């Protein structure tokens, strides 16, 4: 049963657009006629706290949350957050990390050697500079769609399916920026 | 049409499809989005935010008296506030269908406790319905109204965070109108004087037995056949975790779990050597089984009582293994007051003046975090004012100079007004600070009696905190601009210096609601910055230290001149808008 389910664990910091990325992923899976459950906790998302979204899809999904050691993909929009949740990735699962550093409030500087600790836990971890790519696409806030593009590479949906889901979700005037952000993210891991 | 709906959205959709005409609530995570979505159907459903859950409950109950299907929604601790009408409404019942939604919060993602409100169903002697995904939420809500009307009882409909906030596929239907029952005066069951209440209690006991018989064969309770050797009983979201943990097992899945279908459960347990009872938090089901003398069950002895479950926890609890994997130690990233939050000035000032606070439930509870650390107590909605007065009575009037009550505008309307009357009546010297951002911010910006707008978007009267304070006898009541650091400091000093009660209303819009007023991010002139660290003491997420120990502002977070608190605390004026620097 478990092998028919795809588990995508998305994490980062409140305000990074994590929930929009997981909405788009869910739309793509739903449009394919799959069963899907998407779970996150509201209320703190905009206040700079750690934010997590669980997306599970497949033939039949029961639990709406991903448990430790189950995620096929762990996509973290921030470095420290990848380390915080890394136990959720399954052996052999993919870890994709935005190398952006966001200093937690209450701390004055960013802790050292986070990249090394992540790579020690999951050797094949892919780091991408999503902030730079978002800027290149046209807006710093497109980090979430850059990351969506990056992890989309490991899921079996077509580029058109992703793009039509993005178009349906983002504000009209940002469609172009977001499609570009998606392409840059996708190319960053496949290239 | 098949769409993805959260459990809360599915409740709202259920209200629409099942002919509900009145819905009420006070917002509270994880229940808030129920009414926020009901309002989408406002052509068919009247809906409102009430000042608190007790009033919301009473309005819904009144609507039921009026003969229509009605719904009241609240978070688990909200039902404590509404417990008074709940306990008596249950003997009244019998008018328009009446459903009470409780959204519990296992794991306490956004709550002060993880009480299991299933016990309220047993306590109040009303049926309990526990869906386990959004489709069931939509379908079971219809059954809830049928039960309510058939048996003449309110129904408790229980969600938990992972149902309320998880999106799962739902097949949409259409609205079925339900005819309004004509109101006919009948004091025998709507006036609960003891002579009537004694008869009503007998009726309730009989009703409960009838509903139990119904529950024994209800389609909401079903056996899902699997491995004939492994039996599991579960309900709600726990069923989903149990199913992933033991995918091959045979399940008794309970959707109508009170009055408990004991005959069904007995028959099920007889088929297995051991039956696992999988429940999050309290052993509600297990207690009925044990009371009936069923002993071949394993529940609380293995399944943990504290926190949320997931499939891994259920599996490990049963197998005795620990497959959680190693956690890496990472600095915590707790939520904090947002950049531009108007509440920051109050907590910064209290901190600098070494004044503590009894505080309350809302975003501003985040003022407890370093470096602001401005909060001594936080218990439940409205407790701040009574707690402050009580400390003053215990320790002495002088103590009121070192301890103020801090409460948000929505919480003040919810249950702070009576506390303020108490302070005046009992001659307290308490300083009550209402942090007024003119919205219920914590739960995502809902209107209330102090905002001037209703849930359905109409303009309405606006509660005047100053006039209210004056009318209860607080002579010194004033408004202060929360973004003016000097004014905040002066007001707090004067209020705490006085021997009489004072109300300070710190006014400033929630930064998240004032995006149109945000300006370009402020910048630090690092040549001028002396690395004194005063701006860092504001606890603003946009400000951190650079490699030389000097302040630096993250342009992604800073809201610019809208806030400017850091420019006011900087002793060398080295923070400014970009074009001026």
Percent of chain B whose pLDDT exceeds 90: 94
Mention every residue, 6+ apart, whose C-beta is less than 8 A from residue B523: B553, B575, B576, B577, B578, B581
Stretch (H or E) spanning B149: helix B134-151
State the average pLDDT over residues B444-456: 96
Interface contact B109-A117, CB threshold 8 A: no
Per-residue pLDDT band for B505 (boundaries 50, 70, 90) equals very high
Place of tokens 């459960």: B265
Question: Which residues of A are less than 8 Å from B545 in CB distance?
Answer: 108-109
Stretch (H or E) spanning B169: strand B166-171
User: In this model, does residue B580 exceed pLDDT 90?
Assistant: no
Higher pLDDT, A72 or B94: A72
- Secondary structure letter of residue B218 according to DSSP: -
Number of domain units in chain A = 1
Q: Does B318 touch chain A (CB under 8 A)?
A: no
User: In this model, does residue B173 exceed pLDDT 70?
Assistant: yes
Question: Which residues of A are less than 8 Å from B536 in CB distance?
Answer: 108
- The pLDDT mean for chain B works out to 96
Query: So where are chain B's domains?
Result: 2-217, 221-319, 344-513, 518-580
Residue B273: its pLDDT value, please? Answer: 97
Write a three-state SS string for B286-351: HHHHHHCCCCCEECCCCCCCCCCCCHHHHHHHHHCCCCCCCCCCCCCCCCCCCCCCCCHHHHHHHH
Task: Give A 134-153 residues with CB within 8 A of chain B.
Answer: 140-141
Interface contact B109-A41, CB threshold 8 A: yes
State the average pLDDT over residues B423-439: 97
Q: Does B337 touch chain A (CB under 8 A)?
A: yes
CA distance A186 to chain B (A): 24
State the average pLDDT over residues B171-182: 97
Strand bridging mode A35-40 / A50-58: antiparallel
CA dihedral B489, B493, B495, B500 (to 10 degrees): 180
Question: Which residues of A are less than 8 Å from B328 in CB distance?
Answer: 83-84, 86-87, 117, 121
Residue B581: its pLDDT value, please? Answer: 46
State the average pLDDT over residues B183-208: 95
Per-residue pLDDT band for B255 (boundaries 50, 70, 90) equals very high
Count of A–B CB contacts within 8 Å?
156
Per-residue pLDDT band for B547 (boundaries 50, 70, 90) equals confident
Interface contact B162-A65, CB threshold 8 A: yes
Residue A2: its pLDDT value, please? Answer: 41
Residue A191: its pLDDT value, please? Answer: 55
3-class secondary-structure state, position B558:
coil
Per-residue pLDDT band for A174 (boundaries 50, 70, 90) equals very high
* A1-10, B279-288, B301-310, B514-523: range with lowest mean pLDDT: A1-10
Instruction: Name the CATH superfamily for B344-513.
Output: Thiamin diphosphate (ThDP)-binding fold, Pyr/PP domains (3.40.50.970)
Question: Tell me: domain B221-319, CATH 3.40.50.150, correct?
Answer: no
Q: Does A24 touch chain B (CB under 8 A)?
A: no
Domain B518-580 is in which class?
alpha beta
CA distance A144 to chain B (A): 14
Same fold yes or no, B2-217 and B344-513? yes
- As a CATH number, domain B2-217 is 3.40.50.970
Which two three-digit tokens encode residue A176? 């172009």
Residue A43: its pLDDT value, please? Answer: 62
State the average pLDDT over residues B299-322: 97
* pTM for the model: 0.96
Interface contact B310-A63, CB threshold 8 A: yes
Interface contact B311-A67, CB threshold 8 A: yes
Per-residue pLDDT band for B90 (boundaries 50, 70, 90) equals confident
Q: Does B370 touch chain A (CB under 8 A)?
A: yes
Taking residue B315's Cβ as centre, other Cβ atoms within 10 Å add up to: 17
User: A35-77: per-residue pLDDT in tens?
Assistant: 999 999 766 556 678 899 999 999 999 999 999 999 999 999 9
Domain that holds residue A167: 2-190
Residue B573: its pLDDT value, please? Answer: 97
Higher pLDDT, A191 or A25: A25
Of the partner residues B33, B165, B168, the one whose CB lies closest to the CB of residue A41: B165
What is the value of ipTM here, to two decimals?
Answer: 0.95
Per-residue pLDDT band for A107 (boundaries 50, 70, 90) equals confident
State the average pLDDT over residues B74-91: 96
Interface contact B328-A121, CB threshold 8 A: yes
Mention every residue, 6+ apart, whose C-beta is less than 8 A from residue B549: B531
Task: Give A 62-91 residues with CB within 8 A of chain B.
Answer: 62-65, 67-70, 80-81, 83-84, 86-88
Disruptive mutation site among A4, A39, A63, A168 for chain B (greatest number of B CBs within 10 Å): A63
Residue B508: its pLDDT value, please? Answer: 98
User: B150-159: per-residue pLDDT in tens?
Assistant: 999 999 999 9
Residue A47: its pLDDT value, please? Answer: 65
CATH of the domain at A72: 3.40.920.10
């Amino acid at each position: 049963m478990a092998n028919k389910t795809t588990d995508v664990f998305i994490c980062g910091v409140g305000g990074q657009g994590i929930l929009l990325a997981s909405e788009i992923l869910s739309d793509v899976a739903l449009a394919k006629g799959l069963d899907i459950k998407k779970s996150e906790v509201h209320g703190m998302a905009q206040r700079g706290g750690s934010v997590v979204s669980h997306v599970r899809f497949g033939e039949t999904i029961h639990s709406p949350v991903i448990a430790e050691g189950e995620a096929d993909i762990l996509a973290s929009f921030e470095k420290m957050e990848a380390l915080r949740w890394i136990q959720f990735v399954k052996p052999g699962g993919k870890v994709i990390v935005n190398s952006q550093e966001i200093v937690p409030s209450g701390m004055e500087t960013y802790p050292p050697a986070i990249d090394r600790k992540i790579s020690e836990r999951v050797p094949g971890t892919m780091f991408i500079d999503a902030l730079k790519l978002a800027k290149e696409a046209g807006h710093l806030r497109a980090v979430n769609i850059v990351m969506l593009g990056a992890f989309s590479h490991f899921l079996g949906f077509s580029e058109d399916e992703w793009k039509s889901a993005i178009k349906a979700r983002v504000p009209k005037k940002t469609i172009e920026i977001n499609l570009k952000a998606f392409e840059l993210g996708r190319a960053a891991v496949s290239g | 049409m098949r769409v993805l709906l959260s459990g809360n959205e599915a409740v709202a959709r259920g209200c629409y499809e099942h002919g509900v005409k009145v819905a009420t609530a006070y917002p509270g995570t994880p229940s808030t989005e129920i009414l926020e979505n009901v309002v989408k159907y406002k052509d068919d459903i009247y809906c409102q935010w009430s000042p608190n859950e007790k009033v919301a409950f009473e309005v819904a109950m009144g609507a039921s008296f009026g003969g229509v299907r009605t719904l009241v929604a609240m978070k688990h601790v909200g039902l404590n506030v509404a417990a008074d009408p709940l306990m008596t409404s249950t003997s009244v019942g019998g008018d328009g269908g009446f459903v009470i939604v409780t959204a519990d919060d296992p794991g306490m993602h956004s709550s002060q406790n993880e009480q299991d409100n299933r016990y309220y169903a047993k306590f109040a002697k009303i049926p309990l319905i526990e869906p386990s995904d959004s489709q069931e939420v939509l379908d079971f809500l219809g059954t809830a109204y049928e039960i309510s009307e058939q048996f003449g009882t309110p129904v408790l409909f229980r969600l938990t965070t992972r149902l309320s906030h998880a999106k799962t596929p739902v097949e949409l239907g259409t609205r079925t109108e339900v005819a309004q029952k004509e109101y006919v005066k009948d004091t025998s069951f709507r006036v609960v004087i003891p002579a009537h209440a004694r008869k009503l209690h007998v009726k309730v006991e009989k009703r409960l037995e009838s509903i139990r018989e119904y529950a024994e064969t209800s389609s909401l309770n079903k056996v899902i056949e699997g491995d004939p050797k492994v039996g599991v009983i579960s309900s709600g979201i726990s069923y989903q975790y149990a199913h992933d943990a033991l995918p091959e097992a045979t399940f008794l899945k309970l959707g109508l779990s009170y009055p408990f279908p004991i005959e069904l459960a007995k028959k099920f347990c007889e088929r297995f050597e051991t039956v696992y009872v999988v429940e999050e938090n309290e052993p509600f089901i297990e207690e009925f089984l044990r009371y009936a003398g069923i002993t071949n069950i394993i529940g609380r002895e293995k399944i943990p009582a504290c926190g949320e479950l997931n499939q891994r926890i259920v599996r490990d609890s049963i197998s005795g293994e620990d497959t959680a994997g190693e956690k890496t130690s990472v600095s915590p990233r707790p939520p904090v007051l947002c950049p531009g939050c108007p509440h920051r000035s109050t907590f910064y000032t209290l901190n600098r003046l070494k004044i503590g606070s009894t505080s309350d439930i809302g975003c501003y509870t985040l003022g407890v975090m370093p470096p602001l650390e401005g909060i001594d107590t936080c218990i439940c909605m409205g407790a701040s004012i009574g707690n402050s007065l009580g400390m003053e009575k215990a320790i002495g009037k002088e103590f009121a100079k070192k301890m103020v009550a801090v409460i948000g505008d929505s919480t003040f309307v919810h249950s702070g007004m009576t506390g303020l009357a108490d302070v005046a009546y009992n001659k307290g010297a308490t300083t009550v600070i209402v942090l007024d951002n003119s919205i219920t911010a914590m739960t995502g910006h809902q209107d209330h009696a102090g905002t001037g707008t209703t849930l359905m978007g109409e303009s309405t009267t606006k509660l005047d905190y100053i006039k209210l304070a004056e009318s209860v006898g607080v002579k010194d009541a004033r408004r202060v601009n929360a973004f003016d650091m000097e004014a905040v400091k002066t007001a707090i000093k004067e209020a705490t210096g006085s021997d009489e009660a004072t109300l300070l209303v710190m006014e400033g819009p929630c930064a998240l609601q004032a995006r149109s007023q945000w300006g370009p991010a402020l910048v630090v002139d690092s040549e001028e910055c002396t690395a004194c660290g005063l701006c860092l003491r504001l606890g603003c997420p946009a400000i951190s230290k650079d490699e030389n120990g000097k302040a630096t502002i993250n342009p992604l977070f800073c809201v610019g001149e809208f806030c400017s608190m850091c420019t006011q605390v900087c002793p060398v004026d080295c923070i400014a808008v970009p074009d001026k620097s």
